[in-house]
């Protein structure tokens, strides 16, 4: 399953116009992942500079590093 978020994580604004026309970052394995849309290329770069892009972020729950929330 792919989860799509259309709230820019840097500005917390809804991405307008349609998300498919905005800068995007995909994290995951192609079948399961997270699509993050940004208001601008600059906010995408700022996000990339802040985030440790670790492939274990989207690891399954049988991974020893998995922590269930909720």
Question: How confident is the model at residue 65, as a pLDDT?
Answer: 56
- Compute the distance between CA of residue 15 and CA of residue 23 in angstroms, rounded to an integer: 10
Q: Which residues of 8-26 are buried (b: 16+ CB within 10 A; e: fewer)?
A: bbbeeeebeeebeebbeee
Question: Three-state SS for 54?
Answer: coil
What are the pLDDT digits (tens) for 28-64? 887 889 999 999 999 999 998 886 655 444 444 555 5
């Amino acid at each position: 399953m792919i989860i799509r978020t259309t709230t820019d994580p840097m500005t917390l604004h809804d991405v307008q116009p349609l998300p498919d026309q905005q800068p995007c970052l995909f994290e995951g394995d192609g079948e399961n992942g997270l699509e993050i849309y940004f208001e601008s290329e600059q906010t995408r770069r700022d996000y990339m500079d802040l985030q440790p892009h670790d492939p274990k972020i989207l690891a399954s729950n049988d991974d020893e590093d998995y922590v269930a929330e909720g």
